[in-house]
Structure 1
Amino acid sequence: MKKINIWFAATLLLGFTACNSVLDVKPKGSYTTGNYWRNQADVIDGISGIYNILLEEDFTGHAEFTFDICSDDEFRAGDHAEDAAIETFTYDAGNPQVNFSWKWKYEMINRANNALTYIPNVPGMDAAIRDRSLGEAHFLRAFAYWRLTLIYGEVPMVTEEDVKKGAYNHPKATVEALRTQIEADLLKAAELLPAKYDESQAGRVHKGSAWGLLTKLYLYWDKLDKAIEFGSKVVGNNDYRLAANYADNFTTATSNNPEMLFNIQTMDGWGYSDFTTYHTPREWGGWNFHQPLKELVNEFEPNDPRKAVSVMQDGDMINVGNDVKRYNASMSNTGYHFRKFTNWKSNGGLDYSLKTPLLRTADIYLLLAEAKIRKNGAGAGDAEINAVRRRASVLLPPVVGGGMAAVIHERRVELSGENERHQDLMRWDKAGIVNIAAMYSKPKTGPAGVLVPARTFQKPKHYYFPLPQAEVDRSRGVLEQNPNYK
């Protein structure tokens, strides 16, 4: 899939005032809506420009995954001072991390809005490509709003109708209104998108991507029947089957596979992603962030091969491309690194061809299991949990009569480091299944002792992060800060 850096100068900016933009982005080219959207080639490249935002370091390259350092699975590590406040729940609305990915989510929304505004009027398009392109725009807008509402709760909502009116400075929309918009976008995406692609179009979203994100949306929305309906569409479709081996999802040659409902397309030398750099030990070319904690490592059962795929631990022999080196616990603050996101070229140096997973079929299996258990009781999700476990290893004993404890365990080991744990715990806390405040009151420890002291999670304050204060100020009174952060 062709990726371009493209910025449509006339209408891509989301400005909360007439003279200021929430985006700090420099133009890449001289395109405007007056000289773009002329033909099918423009449409294809324009849609690629929406996907391209996923490569930004301050979006999925790093910043989005930093919101998971709140969890009990990892330590922030690295050298970003603002991350310490995120991890310890001492941040405020001026924290840079709160701001980093905000502008890129809205940039994605802006580009999607422009696509939805202009594509219907582009002459001479193949009908299938027009439908696909509109479906992609709907999905990517939904994804950006999904991440915004998960992180901040209520945020401004801007659609293509606002683009047509030139109306951008909006107050916050309710979470209910945002979820309704996300739902509408994903249902439209599912209607327009093809079921799958050939290898030349790997990375484009398809019906399964939309159904999968709908499953997640409905579960967070407590619409369990709907979560079961759309989760079953994914799980029951061979086009989105689990990869043969867990490791296939984290191996360069096989990281584009049917299980990858949505991932970030990179190739070494083109489409660089910071994601690999941040997770790799400094001694081996990385920046040493996001280190797994002992409690996560201990969660893996004996005979679970996902542990070796996911985590580097003391004594492991690691192929770093041009050599095989011994991993030493002293390379990490916690004694461990995530292994699943690292990759090296045969002649040495990091290889950026590994795709970054954003939504996998295994995630949907376990969301479906959760919805069934919460609706129908223990045992209702056994088939889905055991499908994920059998794929990991036939040596893992099957779950029989599994309740939420089985789902919680399976999600923790299957999706370790994939930006799910903190949001999972908050969802379960709101449903009365876990007590997140009690869980986070335990310190994070490493081989040398306490890394992060006991933390105080305040409900409901810490269910959401504050809006970036700079954006609140820029709105001139239209955008109101989240409660408890004023």
Structure 2
Amino acid sequence: MQPKKYISLLCSAALLLMGACNVLDVEPKGNYTTGNYWRNQSDALDGITGIYNVLLEEEYTGFREFVFDNCSDDQVRGGDHGYDQAIEDFTYDPSTPSVRTGWRWKYEQISRANNALIYIPDITDIDPAIKDRCLGEAHFLRAFAYWRLMVLYGEVPIITEEDVLNDNYNKPKVNIDTLRQYIEADLLQAANLLPETYEAGDKGRVSKGSAWGLLCKLYMYWEKLDNAIEYGSMVVNNANYALAPNYVDNFNAATGNNSEVLFAVQSENGWGYTDFVTYHAPRAWGGWSFFYPTKGLVDEFEPGDPRKEVSIMQAGDQVDIGTEIVTYDPSLSGTGYHYRKFCRWLKSGGLDYSMKTPLLRAADVYLLVAEAKIRTLGPGAGDAEINAVRRRASTALPAVSGAGMTELMHERRVELSGENQRHQDLMRWDKAQLIDITTYYNKPKLTYNGTQEPIGGAPRTFVRPKHYYFPLPQQEIDRSKGVLIQNPNYVN
């Protein structure tokens, strides 16, 4: 999906949960309303592109979603957003910027998907296969927005197509099982409607594998392990979603839409792009230096694991910034490290904004299937999936045998480093009583030389169940005039 055609999507002015409608036009096409926009196949395709385009937003997957992993033991904050200290040390509240700013963009994505699901079924001037695909994409993208809301906040309001038609936006939150069921229904419908693969011109659109993979994750968070194995195996056993030949292929602009990448933000130089790479690259080389890996993460990589070199910049590394080869110095970072996997430069100089932001990879699904098998069948049951991920990294890495949760947790940490999984994994395992999360978070985060990182590195106190979810944004509660109720652990 090449995001070269931006349109103005329709928003309801009465939608209290989302704030004002955002207009992303770069090629004005006229004045549209719900009565005259959804006319033909071109309108449907542009409308779906408009849903994807929300992912480019800085306060969504362009940056803000990745701040939440600063809670983890894998990274600390850089940059100049001092208020994000509250995220790291678990002192955030309903008014903390990182807690509140991304809310509106998730509901914006839901709003655009709802419009597509209301009006595309009535379009007659459209190829039936394209129509099904568009509806499948809308179902998936709506599910993804609700998935992120659920993971972060737990219970939130559901806005349906019927609510849009009835101008009914100010709704109470639903319990988490109701929300999971709604996401599940959307993903099952998406899997039914979406194709397995795409031709080159449409690479980057979500597929059946995207829906199966997110279903696998949903079921893991729901503790429905057999269901996770069932839908995750549909990805693992399908050659269309094979692991990329090389780990680094997932993080290069030219190869970022390979078979392994089930869902990624489609950024492109000169058109619609995300600042994801800007937030990760060192300031001295054109970036903003907002995310620093910790020594704990770096030390987790085994000797000889090439994923370390791909993922991490550290002292003495030679880095190609396009116009020259430079040597990485620890003074470039608060911890002495950067995420190399998310930094790319053009040969002519400057950051390469065509690098995709990976949101769901098949390797993640392989390891979830392995985990579900270990937890249901015992140690060794997930060896095939773990070894597939390890063999792709390097045939020199020793194969696991009889792997249990310790080996599984290690593999997820190194394979998915920096990809916004660690904090949620730790909380998920703590809820299942597989670990004690407080023992991870009551230790300091260390710099490359073994000292405590002075900004964001102090030991933290994780409080159960309060910190399993973030508070609902106070401004949304205020706008609802009492309909939206704060999560109980954050009520004064």
* TM-score, length of structure 2 as denominator length: 0.96
Q: CA deviation at 1:26?
A: 4.0
Q: Partner residue of 1:485?
A: 490
Q: CA deviation at 1:23?
A: 2.1
When structure 1 is superposed on structure 2, of 238-247 and 74-83 the one drifting more is: 74-83
What amino acid is aligned across from residue 399 of structure 1 in structure 2? V
Percent same amino acid among aligned pairs?
A: 62
What amino acid is aligned across from residue 473 of structure 2 in structure 1? P
Q: CA deviation at 1:262?
A: 0.3
Distance 1:192 1:162, change over 3 A: same
Distance 1:430 1:449, change over 3 A: closer
Contact 2:277–2:353 (Cα < 8 Å) also in 1: yes
Q: CA deviation at 1:438?
A: 1.7
Q: CA deviation at 1:434?
A: 1.0
Q: Partner residue of 1:198?
A: 199
Q: CA deviation at 1:403?
A: 0.4
CA shift digits 1:300-325 (9 cap, x unpaired): 00110000000000000000001000
1:360 aligns with 2:361: yes
Q: Partner residue of 1:138?
A: 139
Contact 1:212–1:234 (Cα < 8 Å) also in 2: yes
1:470 aligns with 2:475: yes
Distance 1:14 1:214, change over 3 A: farther
Give ranges in structure 1 of 5+ residues lacking alignment: none
SS of the equivalent of 1:334 reads coil
Q: Partner residue of 1:315?
A: 316
SS of the equivalent of 1:445 reads coil
What amino acid is aligned across from residue 22 of structure 1 in structure 2? M
Task: State which of 429, 437, 449 in structure 1 corresponds to 2:452.
Answer: 449
Q: CA deviation at 1:12?
A: 4.6
CA shift digits 1:347-392 (9 cap, x unpaired): 1110111111000000000000000011111110000000000000
What amino acid is aligned across from residue 177 of structure 2 in structure 1? E
Contact 1:214–1:227 (Cα < 8 Å) also in 2: yes
Q: CA deviation at 1:7?
A: 3.1
Query: How many angstroms apart in 2 are the aligned matches of 1:363 and 1:107?
Result: 27
1:417 aligns with 2:413: no
Q: Partner residue of 1:72?
A: 73
What amino acid is aligned across from residue 171 of structure 2 in structure 1? H
Query: How many angstroms apart in 2 are the aligned matches of 1:39 and 1:270?
Result: 25
When structure 1 is superposed on structure 2, of 268-277 and 192-201 the one drifting more is: 268-277
What amino acid is aligned across from residue 164 of structure 1 in structure 2? L
Distance 1:204 1:386, change over 3 A: same
Contact 1:310–1:340 (Cα < 8 Å) also in 2: yes
What amino acid is aligned across from residue 357 of structure 1 in structure 2? P
Q: CA deviation at 1:275?
A: 0.4
Distance 1:464 1:481, change over 3 A: same
Q: Partner residue of 2:391?
A: 390
1:15 aligns with 2:11: no
Contact 1:14–1:107 (Cα < 8 Å) also in 2: no
Query: How many angstroms apart in 1 are the aligned matches of 2:87 and 2:311?
Result: 24
Distance 1:414 1:472, change over 3 A: same
Q: Partner residue of 1:332?
A: 333
**1:174-253 alignment, distance < 5 Å:** 174-253=175-254
When structure 1 is superposed on structure 2, of 160-169 and 213-222 the one drifting more is: 160-169
Q: CA deviation at 1:31?
A: 2.3
SS of the equivalent of 1:359 reads strand
What amino acid is aligned across from residue 54 of structure 1 in structure 2? L
SS of the equivalent of 1:340 reads helix
CA shift digits 1:77-128 (9 cap, x unpaired): 1110221101100011010111111000000000000000000001221100
SS of the equivalent of 2:151 reads helix
CA shift digits 1:190-219 (9 cap, x unpaired): 000001001100110010000000000011
Contact 1:112–1:141 (Cα < 8 Å) also in 2: yes
Distance 1:257 1:14, change over 3 A: farther
Q: Partner residue of 1:374?
A: 375
SS of the equivalent of 1:357 reads strand
CA shift digits 1:210-253 (9 cap, x unpaired): 00000000111011110000011000000000000101111222
CA shift digits 1:239-289 (9 cap, x unpaired): 000000101111222111000100111121222211000000000000001
Query: How many angstroms apart in 2 are the aligned matches of 1:43 and 1:2?
Result: 15
SS of the equivalent of 1:58 reads coil
Contact 2:335–2:453 (Cα < 8 Å) also in 1: no
Q: CA deviation at 1:25?
A: 3.8
Query: How many angstroms apart in 1 are the aligned matches of 2:304 and 2:199?
Result: 35
Distance 1:372 1:483, change over 3 A: same
Q: Partner residue of 2:122?
A: 121
Q: CA deviation at 1:420?
A: 0.3
Give ranges in structure 2 of 5+ residues lacking alignment: none
**Root-mean-square deviation (Å):** 1.2
Contact 2:334–2:453 (Cα < 8 Å) also in 1: no
What amino acid is aligned across from residue 23 of structure 1 in structure 2? G
Query: How many angstroms apart in 2 are the aligned matches of 1:93 and 1:275?
Result: 25
Contact 2:228–2:372 (Cα < 8 Å) also in 1: yes
* TM-score, length of structure 1 as denominator length: 0.97
Query: How many angstroms apart in 2 are the aligned matches of 1:13 and 1:356?
Result: 31
Query: How many angstroms apart in 2 are the aligned matches of 1:274 and 1:435?
Result: 35
Q: Partner residue of 1:431?
A: 432
Q: Partner residue of 1:458?
A: 463
Distance 1:57 1:423, change over 3 A: same
When structure 1 is superposed on structure 2, of 430-439 and 203-212 the one drifting more is: 430-439
CA shift digits 1:284-303 (9 cap, x unpaired): 00000111000000000011
Contact 1:155–1:171 (Cα < 8 Å) also in 2: yes
Q: Partner residue of 2:265?
A: 264
Q: CA deviation at 1:14?
A: 6.5
Contact 1:12–1:107 (Cα < 8 Å) also in 2: no
Distance 1:372 1:13, change over 3 A: farther
When structure 1 is superposed on structure 2, of 430-439 and 447-456 the one drifting more is: 447-456
Distance 1:477 1:134, change over 3 A: same
Query: How many angstroms apart in 2 are the aligned matches of 1:107 and 1:60?
Result: 13
Distance 1:415 1:13, change over 3 A: farther
Distance 1:211 1:12, change over 3 A: farther
Q: Partner residue of 2:35?
A: 34
Q: CA deviation at 1:22?
A: 2.7
Aligned length in residues: 481
When structure 1 is superposed on structure 2, of 269-278 and 319-328 the one drifting more is: 269-278
What amino acid is aligned across from residue 232 of structure 2 in structure 1? G
Contact 1:13–1:110 (Cα < 8 Å) also in 2: no
Q: CA deviation at 1:8?
A: 3.1
CA shift digits 1:160-215 (9 cap, x unpaired): 11112211111011110010000000000000000100110011001000000000
Query: How many angstroms apart in 2 are the aligned matches of 1:66 and 1:24?
Result: 24
